[in-house]
Amino acid sequence: MKILFATSNQNKAAEVAKMLPEHFEILTLKDINHTDDIPETSGTIQENAMQKGNFILDNYKVNCFADDTGLEITALNGEPGVLSARYAGDQRSDEDNMALVQSRLENESDRSAQFRTVIALNIRGIQLVFEGIVKGNILKEGRGENGFGYDPIFEPESCGKSFAEMTMEEKNSYSHRARAFAKMIEYLNLLK
């Protein structure tokens, strides 16, 4: 079964492709020649995921899913949250975003945080929402070379490694995205 992942982020697409059962063929925005940004103007992570999924469904009439993820830091009242990708500005620089987080946490002792992923699945005329959360802490210095986004400064609870120090397989065993996708895949397996 073909299903479109509403992303142009090839790192995320690669993570998800490894999780999907063999009978699914994942397509990305590149496969349908969609090069423009999909609107993300909602005020919450869930609403953004739904907005992106509905945009693809309305414009391309294909089974699809869209996700949105946010890093929610306790001492920053849940920031960067829905603004995680553009926390330090519209240039969407991972380095700038991490630097801004570190500067805002400079005098904070509580470095607890969580990653939240919400997936909106549009399939066979219905929309379902799946959520995954992983709790952890913001490291004072980045570690590791793998991953993307805030991975170098986020360490899941009881792990001892940042996401950026993990292989993709290790990250998938902890990650918020993997947890949300596992719920979606469980549902998709019922549709065989």
Enzyme catalytic residues: 68
Taking the CA atoms of 149, 51, 39 and 52 in sequence, report the sign of the dihedral they define: positive
Whether residue 80 is preceded by a cis peptide bond, meaning omega within 30 degrees of 0, is yes
> Look-up: residue for tokens 């103007």?
41
Kindly report the number of other CB atoms within 10 A of residue 117's CB atom: 23
- How far apart, in Å, do the first and last CA atoms of the chain sit? 9
